[in-house]
Structure 1
Amino acid sequence: MLHRSVAVELEVTKELSKLLCSVESAYLNIVREVAAYAVEHNVTSAIQLRGLFYSKYRGEYPGLHSHLVIQAIRQASEIAKSFMERKRKGLAQKPYPEVRNVSIRFDETAWNYEQFIKSIAPVRIKLSLPNGQTEVWLRLHKRFWRYWWLVLNKEAGLRKTLIVKRRANKWYAVFVFEIKPKEGIPQSVVSFDINENTVAVGKIDLTSTVGMVASWNRQYLTPQLYTIKTDFGRLARRYGRVRNAIIEKLKPEFALPNGKYVNVTNTREFRKRVKHLRERGRKLGRVRQIANELTRTPAIIITEELGDNPQESMIEDVGKDELRHRIKQTPFKSIEEAVEDKALERGSRLVRVSSYRNSRVCPIHFTRLERTDDWHTLKCPLGHYVDRDYASVMNMDWKTTPEAWIKAFWWNMKSLNKNMNWRKYEGKSNPLIPYEIVQYIHAVLKTFVARLERCPAMLAQGDPMNHHRIQNEGGGEETSHALLGQGGGQ
């Protein structure tokens, strides 16, 4: 089930704003006190905390709705659990959680959920405040009506908990919609490979590949290969220079008598200046752009298995601090999660394959590629040049074909015969199957049909996302389409 949150501004008067501020202040005090107690006494169960504090706060805040007290205690329990988990990992710097602001949670008994969900065009809500049931009008917009239309068509549902929060002296109501994933007929096969400054994409149109068009026009069998420019590496270098300039400017203000300096990055002045750089917002915008581009139509989307923390495995053998920083700042997992989330919403399906040998094998002849003077351009032993990014996305497509066909080309699979020394065939064509059979299967694979009912063939070897792919990424975005057909014959 997909979740989408929609924030709608509330039309509040000065008196209503003061009333909401009083509720927020009481709610915040409850969360702070209960969270500090839970961490100090190692009590994180919401039921136990409710038994300890519910009567106290009901007497201390008699005008506050009883379910708001319960929601505040539950929220404090969640904060305490999160803080203790971070503390175990060594990420917490203070002995207690610091709660600066909260969002007020109204459950179904604290606002008119039943009446709201039955309305065709809801324009107002009723909140249980200290002065009783208070009616508040909503400033609805296009995004809200989009998801409300899905609710009316039984394609989505509205959660019973309403979140009310204050931002820049404005009050917002946050509605959470639960959307059913779409089931669409795939129209294409899209594979993508994430690099430092680009995302390489390979697209195969299924309707033209398996239809009658391919029988008389062979150009439709050629995959579409292109890149999406992201510049995550350049963005990291730019903001790195800006942050270093801010540190050098603030250093004289934090000099110690012994000639050393305080860690400027932990100071309030540094955080105040850095928060205006908008680095996170720019990254998020580019991640969403990539996800939207790859999921425009229902498709089978193929990517590499990244693992839990791909950056750590990629910087193991990297010595340069700047390169390590750029790799750490590239949002590999964020792109994958955004594509997967958007794919479910639009009727696509994401398939993950192994990263083993994707960028080191020729997708035409299945031989090991040789290095050239250009980092992104490799040479096939049979005489033509291949762009390593486009070779990677094409080899991902081959890995989704039925397993029996892949065995004809991937000669280093230990699962075929554990007693055979497959390493001696490194860099060679498959000697186990006659070349005529390989040619025939290759011709058949040109018109393959991706099958969702079969699990994709996975190669278990190799670490997720080898770091060599982005060591020299600076010139990759200028590379246009892959030179798959240059030079020698097939």
Structure 2
Amino acid sequence: MTSVTRTVIVKSIQLSRKVFNVFVELEGMYRNIVEQLVMYAVRSNTTSFTRLKADKYRELRNQYPQLPSHYAYTACQDASTRAKSFLKLKKQSLTSREYPEVRSISIWLDDSLWRLNGLTSIEIATHKEWVTVGFEPHKWYWRYLNRGWKLASEAKIKLDKRNRRLIIYLVFKKNVEEYEPRGYLPVDVNENSVAVLVDGVAYLFETNMEKLVLGYYYRRKRIQEKYDKLYGVKSRTKRKILRKLREK
């Protein structure tokens, strides 16, 4: 048996200003903690979550006594992940910064900081009190819930300050049996089709990949020729329009 995970993103209902301000304050404290931990982790070359927690937990508890203690744990997990990624980039000379910049913040939660309340709301521990937040379920949420997947202990929340909502990242887990292959299927991949031989019978699946590739090629070529004449080869306008192609 092996464990498989899937992350489902749901949005909360619009929160009142009073409730949302609680999460704004919480995010501010959490950001300060993560920034402090990342600086320390990079300076001391510490990428281990347990080492970082051992070094900084008591100091964080003294600085933020109003926060539930497990925010120190989850912030250490968050910071160690960021520091590990940054130090790897620095080792490969892919960044010139001395320390990573903490831009986007998602608040990490463990099973002591959140719990499901019914099927369409969760409770979150904050520096004020436990806050109940309703969310808008969608078909993927119900699909995993109704097909035997279980909610994991970890979750994340991110603030949508424009709409006074929380973006909630729920993790579903399920134990599945590992597939044991009984043989091999010959596959032939071409520009416009994929051929598979199954039990002596050939199946042909049309992909039309050639049309897709050429379509992107000619569209990119037209954009480049047009905006190179108008703004020059290195124009920001051209790069912005090319990003909209989403070729990846």
Question: Within 5 A, what are the aligned runs for 1:413-452?
Answer: none
Q: Which residue of 2 aligns with 1:256?
A: none
Instruction: Please state if 1:68 is matched with 2:71.
Output: yes
Instruction: Please state if 1:172 is matched with 2:172.
Output: no
Q: What amino acid sits opposite 2:55 in the alignment?
A: L
- Indicate if the aligned counterparts of 1:38 and 1:77 stay in contact, CA closer than 8 A: yes
Q: What amino acid sits opposite 1:141 in the alignment?
A: H
Matched residues in 2 for 1:126 and 1:23: separation? 15
Instruction: Please state if 1:235 is matched with 2:216.
Output: yes
The 3 A distance-change label for structure 1 pair 2 and 243 is farther
Q: Which residue of 1 aligns with 2:51?
A: 48
Q: In structure 2, which of residues 143, 146, 151 is the aligned counterpart of residue 146 of structure 1?
A: 143
Which shifted more, 237-246 or 10-19? 237-246
Q: What amino acid sits opposite 1:274 in the alignment?
A: K
The 3 A distance-change label for structure 1 pair 147 and 92 is same
- Structure 1 residues not aligned, in runs of 5+: 210-220, 252-263, 284-490
Query: SS of 2:87's equivalent?
Result: helix
* RMSD (Å) for aligned C-alpha atoms: 3.4
Larger radius of gyration: 1
Instruction: Please state if 1:39 is matched with 2:42.
Output: yes
Matched residues in 1 for 2:173 and 2:217: separation? 35
Q: What amino acid sits opposite 2:131 in the alignment?
A: T
Question: Within 5 A, what are the aligned runs for 1:43-122?
Answer: 43-112=46-115, 122=119
Aligned residue-pair number: 238
Q: What amino acid sits opposite 1:161 in the alignment?
A: E
Instruction: Please state if 1:5 is matched with 2:2.
Output: no
Query: SS of 1:161's equivalent?
Result: strand
Matched residues in 1 for 2:229 and 2:175: separation? 48
The 3 A distance-change label for structure 1 pair 86 and 279 is farther
- Measured after TM superposition, the shift of residue 172 of structure 1 is 1.4
- Measured after TM superposition, the shift of residue 202 of structure 1 is 0.9
- Structure 2 residues not aligned, in runs of 5+: none
- Measured after TM superposition, the shift of residue 53 of structure 1 is 2.3
Q: In structure 1, which of residues 25, 42, 47 is the aligned counterpart of residue 28 of structure 2?
A: 25
What are the superposed Cα offsets for residues 253-280 of structure 1, whole Å, 9 maximum, x if unpaired?
xxxxxxxxxxx68xxxx49963883344
Instruction: Please state if 1:160 is matched with 2:160.
Output: no
Q: What amino acid sits opposite 1:124 in the alignment?
A: S
Matched residues in 1 for 2:171 and 2:66: separation? 27
- Indicate if the aligned counterparts of 1:243 and 1:274 stay in contact, CA closer than 8 A: no
Query: SS of 2:207's equivalent?
Result: strand
Query: SS of 2:26's equivalent?
Result: helix
Matched residues in 2 for 1:3 and 1:247: separation? 49
Query: SS of 2:5's equivalent?
Result: strand
Query: SS of 2:130's equivalent?
Result: strand
Structure with more relative contact order (C-alpha pairs < 8 Å, separation 6 or more): 2
Query: SS of 1:65's equivalent?
Result: coil
What are the superposed Cα offsets for residues 354-408 of structure 1, whole Å, 9 maximum, x if unpaired?
xxxxxxxxxxxxxxxxxxxxxxxxxxxxxxxxxxxxxxxxxxxxxxxxxxxxxxx
Q: What amino acid sits opposite 1:225 in the alignment?
A: L
Q: Which residue of 2 aligns with 1:277?
A: 243
Q: Which residue of 2 aligns with 1:473?
A: none
Query: SS of 1:235's equivalent?
Result: helix
Q: What amino acid sits opposite 2:169 in the alignment?
A: V
- Indicate if the aligned counterparts of 2:223 and 2:238 stay in contact, CA closer than 8 A: no
